Amino acid sequence: MHSTEVDRAAIGVVRKPHGIKGGLKVTLYSIDLDTLQSLERLFVNTGNNWKQLSLKNCQGYDDFAIINFNEIKDRTEAETYRDLEIYTDREALPELENGEYYIEDLVDCGVVDEQNKSLGKVVEVIATGAHEILVVKQDESETLIPLVDEWIVEVDINAQRIQVKTAEEI
């Protein structure tokens, strides 16, 4: 999710500690390992303040990365980061090509079906590992929509609009 008080963007979420030396198992959002390794300033929001972290090393796997930070020394400390998002300064992220977007840019987008009927607004994007899921809220109801080609017709970040296929067509 994009941080509004400072211009930072979430790049991943900590799933759990890894090993005894403070490693973190992280699901990365819209970046790859090369981009991650190029980032000089990473942060977590502890709820009260921002804590800056410096990357010690990382390695990637199919749908997650194992990341070690200089500031996290052991598994007990690593446990305190469970479920927290990792951020970087927005300006440190690579420029995107036309039609590309970062996952956090989807939050607050309006969602419509192919008949332009409003389905609500994206309030959260859940990273499952296999693909992301849009949490769309309208009034008191929530709808989960997989962020996959079979469901998504068009994403227009500039217009803050996502068009999805009508459920009966899937």
Query: Which pair of tokens denotes residue 39?
Result: 């980032």
Summarize pLDDT for 132-147 with one digit per residue, the tens. Answer: 899 999 999 999 999 9
Averaged over 30-42, what is the pLDDT?
87
For the record, the structure tokens of 123 come out as 């309030």
130, 164: one domain: yes
The reported pLDDT for the residue numbered 2 is: 46
Domain count, the chain: 2
Q: Residue 151 has what pLDDT?
A: 94
Q: Which amino acid is at 117?
A: K
CATH number at residue 153: 2.30.30.240
Q: Can you tell me the mean pLDDT for 112-134?
A: 89
* Within a domain: 97: no
Do 159 and 86 share a structural domain? no
Domain boundary at 92, 126, 154, which? 92
Which of these three, 38, 58, 92, is where a domain ends?
Answer: 92
Bridge-based pairing state of the strands 161-164 and 110-112: parallel
State the average pLDDT for the chain.
88
Whether residue 98 is contained in a domain is answered as no
Q: Is the pTM of this model over 0.75?
A: no
